[in-house]
Amino acid sequence: MGRQPSSKPTSFDIAYLAGVSQPTVSRALRGSKSVSAATRANIERIARELNYTVDKNASSLRSQRTHTLALLFFEDPTPDESMINPFFLSMLGSITRECARRGYDLLISFQQMHNDWHVAYQDSHRSDGIILLGYGDYQLYLSKLEHLVEMGTKFVRWGSVSEEGIGLTVGSDNVGAGEQAGAHLVEIGRTRIAFLGDASDHAPEFQDRYDGLCRAMRAAGYEPDPALQRDAVSTEDSGYAAANALLASGKPFDAIFAASDLIAIGAMRALTEAGLKLPHDVAIIGFDDIPAASLTSPTLTTVMQDLKGAGPLLVDALLSRIENRAVEQRILPARLIKRQSTAV
Amino acid sequence: MGRQPSSKPTSFDIAYLAGVSQPTVSRALRGSKSVSAATRANIERIARELNYTVDKNASSLRSQRTHTLALLFFEDPTPDESMINPFFLSMLGSITRECARRGYDLLISFQQMHNDWHVAYQDSHRSDGIILLGYGDYQLYLSKLEHLVEMGTKFVRWGSVSEEGIGLTVGSDNVGAGEQAGAHLVEIGRTRIAFLGDASDHAPEFQDRYDGLCRAMRAAGYEPDPALQRDAVSTEDSGYAAANALLASGKPFDAIFAASDLIAIGAMRALTEAGLKLPHDVAIIGFDDIPAASLTSPTLTTVMQDLKGAGPLLVDALLSRIENRAVEQRILPARLIKRQSTAV
DNA sequence: ATATTATGCGTATACGTATACCCTATGGCG
DNA sequence: CGCCATAGGGTATACGTATACGCATAATAT
C-alpha cells in the first residue's frame, strides 16, 4: 500500500491490480461485450474494493458526453429574489429524481431574463441538453430559443403543446383542463365566468386555458364575454389587481377561472375585501394545485397537473432528442380538484 | 473558413488567429499577469467573436478544480415522492443565485437516506464541495458525515450551530428564535405552552428551539412542563397526530410552539376539528414562514429565517473551506413574524 | 487441412486545457 | 560593456478516460 490513500484511484490502478490494461478496465466498467465475464467480474470487484469511480471530467472530455442535463428556470426578475414559482419548484423534485434514475446529473440555474444568454450556451459544454422551465418575456424567450436551435443545442421545454413552437415541447393538456373547469362552473350554474390571466400570445399556456374555458361555455350554449377577461401574470399581487380592476369595471360576474393558483389567491383576497361571499357570490377555480390551495378559505378548487409524470416525460423526451431518436410532442392529462371555492 | 461551424472552437483556434501559442491563450483568459495587455485584449476580442468558452471538462481535468458545487438534499423517503420541504426549496433560490454570482455551477441531487452514500462521494469528482441540506435520520446522517470527513471531502451543512458537530455548520439562531417565540407567548399571557417537535438529539435544530422556549419561560418565572412536549417530524400529518395526542392526554394548554410551519398547520387542523377557537383558546407559533403561513386561518405567527442571507453564507463558508481559509461557525438571526394566531 | 470469423485484449492516441520549465529580448545597473 | 533581473511567451507534458486498430488465439466453416 505505498499508494496515498488521499489520491483517488484511477483506471490504471485497477488495471494493474487486475493484471490487464487500462482500456480493458474502461471496457469492463462500461459494459462492453468484448470483455470476458471472468475478467469483468474481477475488475468490478477490485473497483468496488478501491472505492473507484470513473472521473467524470476525463470521461466527458474523451467521449464528449457529459451525462448531465441542465435545468434552466426562466423568470422575470421578481422583487423578492428568493421567491420562485412554487409550481416549478414542485416539478424540480420530479425532474431530479428522474435524472438520477436514468444515471444523469442535473445542473441547475436560475436564469434572469435580462442576463446574457451565453451563460446558457456555455452550459452546453457542461451538459448534453437543457430543460427549459418557466414563463417570462415570451418574445425575448423565443428569439433565444431560435439561437439555441441554430447552435444545435438539444433542449426540451415545458409549455403549451398546442402551439406550433420552436423545439420540442412537453406540457399539460391546458385546453382540456380549461374545458373541465368551464364545464364544472357551468354545471354549478355559473354563466358569467371571468378569466384572469394573460390571454395574449405572450403566454400560450394561459391562452390555451382560456380557449378551453370558452369552448366549454359555448358547448353549454353560452358566449364568453371578452370584457370578463383580464390580463394577469402569475403572482398574487397581479391577481389581486386584476380582480379589483374587474370589480371596478362594474361588469357582473359569478365565477372566476384564474390561470394560476397565485392569481386565484390574489383574486380571493380582493373579492373578500370587497365584501363578497365565496363561493356564494363568486365561485373560483385556480390552476396548479400548489400546497397553499388547500389552505385558503374557502379551500381552492383547482387543476392539478401531473407533476409526477412531468419529470420523467421531460427527461425522456430530452434524452431521445440527444440520442437522435424520434420524439413527438406529448401531452399530460390534468385533473380538476373540487374544493370549497366551487361548492355551492 | 474551412472550419466546421458546428464544432466548438478551442483555445488552439484562438491561438492560431491571434498568432500566439495555445498556453498563451489559456493564460490570457485566466488573467495571468505574464501576458501583455495588448496580447490579452486581442485574445479576448477573438474569443468573443468566435463565441469561445473554456471547455469545463478539460479545464477541470487538468486543474482538478471543477468550479462546481453540489447540493444534497437529505430527506426521509416521503409517501409522495414529489413533495419537498418548502423551506429548503426556498433556500434553493438563494443558493443558486449566490453560486452564479461567484462563478460556480450548482449540481443538485435529492438523496434518499436509504440510497448508497457513494453517490455523494462520486459527486466529489464532479464538484469542489458539497452543501448538505435537510433533516432525516440523524444518526445515520452523522455516520455518513464522518465518512465524508475521512475522505477529505469539503462540505458545509445547514443545521444547528450550537451543537458541537462534525464539519462546518451554518444555521439560524434557533435558541434565540425559540426565546423570542416563548417571550411573545408569555407576553400575551400564556403559561401552559406546548412544544410540538422532536426534542431528542435526533433533531438538534428542533431541540435548540425547544431549549429557547424553555429558557424564555424560566426567565419569566414559569417552569416548562415536559408532558407538554410531543415529538413530531416536519410534516402536516405528524403535526396533526401530535396535537391530537396532546388533546387526548387531557393536559391543559393554552399555546403551542411548533418546530415548523408544517407541524403548526397540521396542529391547527386538529385543534379546529376539536372545536377550539384559535387563538382565543390556543395561541400558535410556527417556524419557517413558508408561503402557506400567511394563508391559514387564522394566519400563522411564525419565525422567519434569513433565507436571503443563508445562500451567500453557506456558499461563502464552503468556498472558504475549499480554499483552506479559516472559517468559523456562523449564526443567522431569525425574526418573529406576528400574525393572527397569537393576536388576542 | 486451410480459410474464415469471432473473441478477448493490448497499443496507441485523442479529448482541450493548465502549468512547470525554459528561452529570448530588453533594460537597468555597476 | 558585461551581468542579472524581468517581462513575455514558447515547448513539453499531464490530467484520466474512451475508442480506433491491430493482433493473437480459438472456434467454426469448407
- Per-residue pLDDT tens over the stretch A140-196: 777 778 878 877 888 998 888 876 678 889 999 999 999 999 999 999 999 999 999
pLDDT tens, A195-215?
999 877 778 889 999 999 999
Confidence of residue A234 (pLDDT cuts 50, 70, 90): confident
Rg (CA), chain A: 25
The span from the CA of B258 to the CA of B181, in Å, is 10
Looking at CA atoms only, how far is residue B218 from chain A in angstroms? 35
Task: Look at residue A6 in the predicted model and tell me its pLDDT.
Answer: 54
Which among A58, A86, A119 has the least Cβ separation from residue B291? A86
CB A299 within 8 A of CB A340: yes
Task: Look at residue A112 in the predicted model and tell me its pLDDT.
Answer: 63
Question: Which of these ranges, A256-270, A310-324, B134-148, has the smallest mean pLDDT?
Answer: B134-148
Q: Which of B69, B92, B108, B151 to mutate to test the interface with A (most CBs of A within 10 A)?
A: B108
Question: Which of these ranges, A2-16, A84-98, A286-300, B249-263, has the smallest mean pLDDT?
Answer: A2-16
The span from the CA of B136 to the CA of B149, in Å, is 19
Residue A169 β-bridge partners: A157
Task: Look at residue A1 in the predicted model and tell me its pLDDT.
Answer: 32
Q: Which of residues 122-141 of B touch A (CB under 8 A)?
A: 122, 125-126
Three-state secondary structure call for residue A131: strand
Share of chain A above pLDDT 90, in %: 58
Q: Is the peptide bond before A279 cis (omega within 30 degrees of 0)?
A: yes
Which among B56, B108, B291 has the least Cβ separation from residue A108? B108
- Element housing A133 (H / E): strand A129-133
Answer whether residue B201 shows pLDDT above 90: no
CA-to-C1' span, A36 to D26 (A) = 14
Record: contact B126-A308, CB cut-off 8 A:
no
Interval A63-75 mean pLDDT:
87
CA-to-C1' span, B18 to D11 (A) = 18
Looking at CA atoms only, how far is residue B114 from chain A in angstroms? 14
Residue nearest to nucleotide D7 (CA to C1'): B34
Question: Which of these ranges, B59-63, B156-160, B173-177, has the smallest mean pLDDT?
Answer: B156-160
Among B181, B238, B185, residue whose Cα is nearest residue B209: B181
Rounded to the nearest 10 degrees, what angle do helices A11-18 and A37-49 cross at? 120
A249 or B76, which is more confident? A249
pLDDT tens, B103-143?
899 998 876 655 566 566 666 678 999 998 876 667 677 77
Rg (CA), chain B: 25
Nearest CA in chain B to A51: B118
Nucleic acid strand D within 7 Å of B21 CB: yes
Answer whether residue A2 shows pLDDT above 50: no
The span from the CA of B131 to the CA of B201, in Å, is 22
- Residue B69: what residue type? L
Record: contact B84-A97, CB cut-off 8 A:
no
CA trace torsion B296, B300, B306, B310 (10° rounding): -50
Mean pLDDT of all residues belonging to chain B:
87
Among A195, A190, A194, A90, residue whose Cα is nearest residue A133: A90
Interval B142-160 mean pLDDT:
83
Interval B310-319 mean pLDDT:
93
CA angle A194, A195, A199 (to 5 degrees): 145
Record: contact B86-A291, CB cut-off 8 A:
yes
Phi and psi, residue B186, nearest 5°: -65, -40
Answer whether residue A284 shows pLDDT above 50: yes
Answer whether residue A121 shows pLDDT above 80: no
The span from the CA of B45 to the CA of A340, in Å, is 62
Q: Is the peptide bond before A204 cis (omega within 30 degrees of 0)?
A: no
Question: Which of these ranges, B17-31, B104-118, B234-248, B278-292, has the smallest mean pLDDT?
Answer: B104-118
Interval A225-250 mean pLDDT:
93
